[in-house]
């Protein structure tokens, strides 16, 4: 394998190359075939067929789309293998499925079903808040999320053959996806012009393996395929992601939470192909029905009116104080919000993340009764 | 000489990068009128269903068929092979439109799903005779199709024994000595079931370029802005590490 893969495997044993099957080049290869395409989240075989008809280059099987996970709360897990098998039978395009972060047994099950790609996804509930799956142990390729260059390179070192920027799943709001794509691309641009002597410190700063940092510098891009995800709801959103330099997009709730999924799906597929052609984009954006309503997470604490009573608490990195404050309020004041949703723990530091996990459990315990006004 | 690469979806960047290494300009083709500016065409790997859908939406099929019928060189890799074939099996429900022209029957996803994707050292005597180099080629098969049978005019450039790969397909487990065809040439049509654009070996690309008659140099100076080698915003296209 010397010199043949992107990830040079350290030591013996991390990757068993007993067969010629699925070395890293083959794993990355499939992702390269997906470039310039749209990967759509589907929850059943019927949606999978709609996605295939719309021109999706792959479908992602999961039990609920991110918008529903967000709205309903609870623990989100790998989908039922039976359902995945049905979806696999229904379409000829590659089928991906999500596994919880760190849940390598879910990944083993998905590999056994013969899925084409596993998404180790932060949209599902975390199974391990410290470790990700050692993806070198698998013959199937993995796609992982990232918010910045350091995180992307750490995932690649763990064996991810494809990277997607996280954005904010299930909101229909593109702002976080833009932020993350800009962050990754910006860091790469900085890296490209960096003095070689400074790369060691840069690698330390972004907490990424030095050799992958160096490889990224030489290539001027991530060494694996890089898709955008989270909040893509319109053809314009998809084209924006492509113009920012992504290789393709994932669309989750954006399609099947909209008025006319088939039409919108087709429009987004076309937008990704013709991303640099404003005239065509204008044409395909016309009359494609209602977009998903989405959620604006801009307000720090937003509470929907009426008996919906959905409370969103976005927690941005570094704001421990705010997290503590919310936490305290929750512990002391009971509230009427039937459902409390948090931004995915991505933003929060590990410290905050632990609090969040506690809170989520608390929320599952359904203690939400009294009045709580933020 | 300008080579067009069908850029609807898939590994078109990789093809353009490979052409660049040979000093040839590759341009992205997305619309029927852009086919008029190129002397030859590569249909890249990707999802053939997706590419067929997009081609249908933009009315590319008539133009592509005409391009093939004019006898201009066309090379299909993987999904491109499916495009060129006269007949394809194992398609999605409802089938898909094909360009046709290549007299053979292709089976989609012949080897199974991604977990059965593999790479192998493939002997390619005809290509080696023209291009030199080592007798084998590092062929990367990704959810690859295979050619089940070919017409009399089709020259077989490479095949692999089915037993070489552990195929977990029920219906094909019978004859172990059977071979499937993975690279063919018919007149000006070239088709491979694997992905030469994913390796550093450019022999297939130069083999294809030799099929292009050496005329029309600079005939396509005017190509719309969307087909330049610069991607949007002037960011140069940087491509993947190539597996040596």
Which residues on adjacent β-strands are paired with residue A164? A145, A227
Q: What is the mean pLDDT of chain B?
A: 80
pTM for this entry: 0.79
Instruction: Classify residue A195 by burial, with Cβ atoms within 10 Å: 0-12, 13-18, 19+.
Output: exposed
Contact of A4 with chain B, judged by CB distance below 8 Å, is answered with yes
* Closest CA–CA distance from residue A198 to any residue of chain B (Å): 23
SS3 B126: helix
User: In terms of C-beta distances under 8 Å and separation of at least 24 residues, what long-range contacts does B131-136 make, across chains too?
Assistant: B131/B203, B131/B206, B131/B207, B132/B203, B133/B201, B133/B203
Are A30 and B112 a contacting pair at CB < 8 A?
no
Contact of A36 with chain B, judged by CB distance below 8 Å, is answered with yes
- The pLDDT assigned to A363 comes to 42
Nearest to B119 among A23, A49, A215 (CB): A23
Q: Does position A147 have pLDDT exceeding 80, yes or no?
A: yes
Contact of A91 with chain B, judged by CB distance below 8 Å, is answered with yes
Distance CA A351, CA A175 (A): 25
Instruction: Report the residue of A25, A135, A185, A222 to disrupt the B interface, i.e. the one with the largest count of B CBs within 10 Å.
Output: A25
Average pLDDT rounded to a whole number, residues B183-194? 93
Which of the four pLDDT bands, split at 50, 70 and 90, describes residue B243?
low
Nearest to B241 among A22, A115, A223 (CB): A223
pLDDT tens track for A35-84: 999 999 999 999 999 999 999 999 999 888 888 887 887 888 899 999 99
Are B143 and A274 a contacting pair at CB < 8 A?
no
Between residues A157 and A3, which one has the greater pLDDT?
A157
Helix H, strand E, coil C: the string for chain A is: CCCCCCCCCCCCCCCCCCCCECCHHHHHHHHHHCCCCEEEEECCHHHHHHHHHHCCCEEEECCCCHHHHHHHCCCCCCCCHHHHHHHHHHCCCCEEEEEECCCHHHHHHHHHHCCCEEEEECCCCCCCCCCCCCHHHCCCCEEEEECCHHHHHHHHHCCCCEEEECCCCCCCCCHHHHHHHHHHHHHHHHHHCCCHHHHHHHHHHHCCCHHHHHHHHHHCCCCCEEEECCCCCCHHHHHHHHHCCCCEEEECHHHHCCCCHHHHHHHHHHHHHCCCCHHHHHHHHCCCCCCCCCCCCCCCCEECCHHHCEEEECCCCCCHHHHHHHHHHHHHCCCCCCEEEECCHHHCCHHHHHHHHHHHHHHHCCCCCCCCCC
- The pLDDT assigned to A149 comes to 95
CB B50 within 8 A of CB A37: yes
Catalytic (active-site) positions of A: 98
Nearest to B226 among A32, A56, A276 (CB): A276
Are B231 and A276 a contacting pair at CB < 8 A?
yes
- The pLDDT assigned to B163 comes to 61
φ and ψ of B179, to 5 deg: -120, 150
Q: Chain B residue closest to A243 (CA)?
A: B232
Contact of A54 with chain B, judged by CB distance below 8 Å, is answered with yes
pLDDT tens track for A324-366: 444 444 443 333 333 344 433 333 334 344 444 444 444 433 3
Nearest to B53 among A33, A55, A223 (CB): A55
Which of the four pLDDT bands, split at 50, 70 and 90, describes residue A101?
very high
B107 is catalytic: no
pLDDT tens track for B146-159: 998 899 999 999 98
Q: Chain B residue closest to A189 (CA)?
A: B235
- The pLDDT assigned to B117 comes to 82
- The pLDDT assigned to B239 comes to 59
Candidates B14, B28, B78, B104; catalytic one:
B78
* Closest CA–CA distance from residue B213 to any residue of chain A (Å): 30
């Amino acid at each position: 394998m010397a010199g043949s893969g992107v990830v040079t495997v350290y030591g013996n044993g991390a990757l068993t190359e007993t067969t010629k099957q699925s070395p890293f080049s083959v794993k990355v290869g499939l992702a390269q075939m997906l470039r310039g395409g749209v990967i759509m989240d589907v929850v059943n075989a019927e949606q999978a067929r709609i996605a295939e008809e719309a021109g999706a280059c792959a479908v992602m099987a999961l039990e609920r789309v991110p918008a529903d996970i967000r709205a309903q709360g609870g623990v989100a897990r790998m989908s039922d293998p039976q359902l995945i098998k049905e979806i696999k039978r229904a379409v000829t395009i590659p089928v991906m499925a999500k596994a919880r972060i760190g849940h390598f047994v879910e990944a083993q099950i998905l590999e056994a079903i013969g899925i084409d790609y596993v998404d180790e996804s932060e949209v599902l509930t975390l199974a391990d808040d410290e470790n990700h799956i050692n993806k070198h142990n698998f013959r199937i390729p993995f796609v992982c999320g990232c918010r910045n260059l350091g995180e992307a390179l750490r995932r690649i070192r763990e064996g991810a053959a494809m990277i997607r920027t996280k954005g904010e799943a299930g909101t229909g709001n593109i702002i976080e996806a833009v932020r993350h794509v800009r962050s990754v691309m910006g860091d790469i641009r900085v890296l490209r012009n960096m003095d070689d002597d400074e790369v060691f410190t840069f690698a330390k700063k972004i907490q990424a393996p030095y050799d992958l940092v160096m490889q990224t510098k030489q290539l001027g891009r991530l060494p694996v395929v890089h898709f955008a995800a989270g909040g893509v709801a319109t053809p314009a959103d998809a084209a924006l992601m492509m113009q920012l330099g992504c290789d393709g997009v994932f669309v989750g709730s954006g399609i099947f939470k909209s008025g006319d999924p088939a039409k919108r799906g087709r429009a987004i597929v076309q937008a990704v192909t013709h991303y640099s052609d404003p005239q065509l984009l204008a044409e395909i954006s016309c009359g494609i029905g209602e977009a998903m309503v989405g959620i604006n997470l801009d307000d720090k604490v937003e509470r929907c009116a009426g008996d919906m009573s959905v409370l969103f608490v976005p927690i941005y990195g570094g704001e421990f104080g705010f997290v503590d404050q919310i936490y305290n309020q929750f512990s002391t004041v009971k509230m009427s919000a039937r459902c409390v949703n948090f931004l995915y723990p991505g933003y929060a530091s590990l410290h905050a993340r632990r609090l969040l996990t506690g809170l989520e459990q608390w929320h599952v315990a359904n203690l939400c009764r009294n009045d709580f006004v933020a | 000489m300008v080579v067009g690469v069908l850029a609807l979806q898939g590994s078109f960047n990789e093809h353009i990068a490979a052409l660049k290494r040979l000093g040839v300009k590759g341009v992205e083709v997305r619309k029927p009128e852009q086919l008029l500016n190129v002397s030859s065409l590569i249909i890249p790997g990707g999802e053939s269903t997706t590419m067929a859908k997009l081609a249908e939406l933009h009315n590319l099929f008539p133009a592509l068929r005409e391009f093939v019928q004019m006898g201009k060189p066309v090379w299909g890799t993987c999904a491109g092979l499916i495009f060129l074939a006269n007949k394809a099996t194992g398609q999605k429900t409802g089938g898909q439109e094909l360009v046709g022209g290549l007299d053979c029957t292709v089976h989609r996803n012949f080897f199974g799903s991604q977990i059965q994707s593999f790479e192998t050292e493939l002997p390619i005597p005809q290509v080696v005779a023209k291009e030199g180099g080592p007798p084998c080629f590092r062929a990367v098969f990704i959810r690859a199709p295979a050619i089940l049978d070919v017409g009399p005019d089709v020259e077989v450039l490479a095949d692999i024994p089915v037993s070489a790969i552990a195929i977990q397909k029920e219906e094909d487990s019978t004859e172990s000595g059977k071979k499937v065809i993975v690279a063919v040439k018919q007149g000006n049509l070239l088709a491979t079931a694997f992905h030469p654009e994913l390796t550093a070996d450019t022999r297939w690309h130069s083999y294809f370029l030799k099929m292009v008659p050496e005329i029309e140099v600079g005939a396509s100076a005017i190509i719309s802005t969307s087909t330049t080698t610069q991607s949007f915003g002037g960011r140069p296209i940087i491509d993947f590490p190539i597996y040596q």
